[in-house]
Structure 1
Amino acid sequence: MSADILTLRRQAQEEASAFPALLARAEQLAGTVLLGEHGRRRAGMGDDFWQYRPLRAGDSYRQIDWRRSAKGDDQFVREREWQIAQSVQVWVDNGASMRFSGDKNTPSKADRARLITLAACILLLRAGERVGLTGWSLPPRSGNVQVLRLAEMFSSDDEADYAEPEARGIIPHSRALFVSDFLGDITAVENALTKAADRGVRGLLLMVLDPMEESFPFEGRTIFESVGGSLAHETLKAGDLRERYVARLTERKARLNDLCRLTGWQFNVHHTNTSAQSALLWLWRAMDGSHG
């Protein structure tokens, strides 16, 4: 058996063992969040009481709630609730840059992004929404089986240093969630959000960063190399780059924030040394605010 085949088998086994562990952690994280109300609700066919309203021209007398009407001179109709599940499509960056961690005690950006996103998907599915991926690989569906499919899809890695957001196949007037470090080509992000906004899609952009990427604590001779190995830069005075680096990162955040504001999306930054629950709570509350 060739070394290449052995390597592929080992990678496949590692990926297969990763997604059950990811799923268990995501289930636990999702359990810390109290479900809110999701989905579009309006009067129509259904089992749950929605509201009383006065009898209108064209209503059938069989619709009258006589008990409620007996309390006064007006006649009232008892309306039931019709809940239409919305579709939520997600994109999680699986590029090599996401596998960076500046400290052995800090999870990689990929691990944190997948954990938070899968937990959010679990909450959305529990709330009756249809959840899937952007693109064509996993269309939005409801049910517990979809959680397994999502966990499996999230466990694969891309060899490219930076992955581009996938905006194809997004259902018009649905909701979307993009999770990445967004350190690659920002034009791809702009194109994806513009295309989504043109379809009436509202969504969330969560930027996941390692604390070392914020502080840039390097001094002296340093070799910077991308996780995928395609980029490398050596400097004798790393400290001299700090001010320029921080300025560019600040500019990138501002540009992403402006892009979200212009397209009706919401933007937030999460650091891997902070609580995963805090990011999930933001996602959940922001998703509540983005539906409609």
Structure 2
Amino acid sequence: RRRAGLGDDFWQYRPAQTGDSRRAIDHRRSAMGDHEFVREREWQIAQSVMLWVDQGASMRFASTADLPEKADRARLLSLALAILLIRGGERVGLTGTELPPRRGNPQILRLTEMLSRDSEADYAPPEHRAMIPNARAVFVSDFMGDLGQVREALTKAADRGVRGALLHVLDPSEEAFPFAGRTVFESMGGTLRHETLKANDLRDRYIDRLAARKHELQQLCTLTGWRYGLHHTDKPAQTGLLWLYGALDRAA
């Protein structure tokens, strides 16, 4: 775990502090100077990491055939992260009650199966049931739905000591809004539809609202001790994976 805790391997020496037992003093190291030192071991207890990957219809959007759907990129990143964590000895599962965190290759197969499912809803709310106290969590979504549900999920997680990373996945067209003239906007689930003759007139308002949404997510992560990251589907998947892996370490 790269920090002091229960384990068998030496981690570091630190100066003895008030409250340390005499048994904890390393007398050989202390004899080399005028101060007493405690020998610390590296923490080797496995952590539990819970994943929530948005499976709503909005995630099945790709602006061109050359780009992956947001859902495919989110699943790829989440599964790759799970494999890295499980190989490192951690327990990985999904938020909720269907797949609790476990180790081993069979768990990777279960994760693959469950992450392949789609939701019929346009926007799927974050699953925050059965959060394990003091565990780690990762939420991956386009966060185009109700932010109130995201706020509730992160607040409940923080109340249980859960820290983690929130990865905001967007198609590049959702950032640039490259639309002009007569345009029909329709949600991936078909429940929302808007037609306009001057799509370019909507651009500034759309970009402002997207920026406000990003800012709200960033503020929410700051308040709850989570990390916020942004990933675009036209960028290499490796960049998102490296960010997630590093964000989990910094959230620990």
Same fold (TM over 0.5): yes
Q: CA deviation at 1:124?
A: 1.1
| Local SS of the residue matching 1:59 | helix
Alignment deviations for residues 86-108 of structure 1 (CA, whole Å, 9 cap, x no partner): 11111000000000000000000
| Structure number having the greater helix percentage | 1
Q: 1:226 aligns with which of 180, 187, 193?
A: 187
**Amino acid in the other structure paired with 1:254:** H
Residue 128 of structure 1: CA displacement? 1.1
Per-residue CA deviations over 1:67-89 (Å, capped at 9, x if unaligned) read x7998999998765451111111
- Residue 184 and residue 70 in structure 1: after superposition, are their counterparts in 2 closer, same or farther (change >3 A)? closer
Counterpart-to-counterpart distance in 2, 1:256 and 1:185:
12
* Whole-angstrom distance in 1 between the partners of 2:67 and 2:41: 50
- Report the counterpart of residue 105 of structure 2 in structure 1: 144
Q: 1:223-262 maps to which residues of 2 (within 5 A)?
A: 223-262=184-223
1:59 has 2:20 as partner: no
Structure 2: which 5+ runs fail to align?
A: none
Could you say which residue in structure 1 is the equivalent of 2:120? 159
Q: How many residues align?
A: 249
- Which letter maps to 1:239? N
- Paired with 2:213 and 2:13, the residues of 1 have a C-alpha distance of 51
| Closer, same or farther: CA 40–218 of 1 in aligned 2, 3 Å | same
Alignment partner of 1:189 is 2:189: no
Deviation readout 1:86-139 (Å, 9 max, x if unpaired):
111110000000000000000000000010111111111111111111100100
RMSD: 2.5
The equivalent of 1:285 in structure 2 is 246
Q: 1:125 to 1:39 in 2, by over 3 A?
A: farther
Distance 1:69 1:150, change over 3 A: same
Q: SS of the counterpart of 2:23?
A: coil
Equivalent pair of 2:3/2:11 in contact (CA under 8 Å): no
Query: Aligned partners of 2:3 and 2:145: how far apart in 1?
Result: 35
Query: CA offsets, 1:207-263, max 9 Å, x none?
Result: 000011111111111111111111111111111111111111111101111111111
**Corresponding position of 1:11:** none
Q: Choose which of 250, 268, 272 in structure 1 pairs with 2:229.
A: 268
Measured against aligned partners, the alpha-carbon deviations of 1:131-162 in whole angstroms (never above 9, x if no partner) come to 11110010011112211111111100001000
| Mapped partners of 1:253, 1:202: distance in 2 | 19
* Structure 1 residues 3-82: aligned runs within 5 Å: 38=1, 41-42=4-5, 44=6, 46=8, 48-51=9-12, 59=23, 81-82=42-43
Structure 2 SS opposite 1:176: strand
The equivalent of 1:28 in structure 2 is none
